[in-house]
Amino acid sequence: MHNQTVDEIIQMLDLQPHPEGGFYQSTYTGEESIEVSDGTRNLFTSIYFLLRSQDVSHFHRLKSDELWYFHEGSPIEIHMIEPNGKYKKVKLGLNLAEGESPQYLVPKNTIFGSTVLEENSFSLVGCMVAPGFDFADFKIFEQDELLAKYPEHEGIIRRLTVDS
């Protein structure tokens, strides 16, 4: 890891607060577009996403696949509720011997959020979305809605949602 503090990285990459939690900055939008069921989207988009250990990325869902790439900091855990209701978590990081993966695809229509594994740390990742990200395809979930549908996942739902 380099010597920059998390605040310096946020400033140097011009990261802005993200509605789901954490910080982000768009880094690339593909020039080509594609027709989807409710309009046109760029073929793909990419962002930097930074999550501090004191923050969480709240449970949300996209209508597109999202490919995560680990860049720097502490490993990050991606928590997912698959469309079939099954809970799954994946560690994104560089310690392959510990079961971490440097990249991971979150399939479209999966409810997901993330947490940083080490205290007093952060995770910097890249996220590429295809078809490209559009806030019209983004939904953040309320706690009551997920608890009613997936009561068996109460612990992680309470951790990654705001009390309704």
Please give the average per-residue pLDDT across 44-73, as a whole number. 97
133-148 pLDDT, tens digit per residue, is 999 999 999 999 999 9
What does the pLDDT read at residue 164?
A: 65
Which residues make Cβ contacts (< 8 Å) with residue 9, sequence separation at least 6?
A: 15, 50, 72, 122, 124
Residue 12: phi and psi, rounded to 5, are -65, -35
Task: Kindly tell me the sign of the dihedral angle through the C-alpha atoms of 131, 39, 111, 58.
Answer: positive
CB 78 within 8 A of CB 106: yes
pTM of the shown model:
0.94
Chain position carrying tokens 């855990």? 77
CATH topology of domain 6-160: Jelly Rolls (2.60.120)
Residue closest to 22 by CA, chosen among 117, 116, 110: 116
Other C-beta atoms lying within 10 Å of the C-beta of residue 47:
21
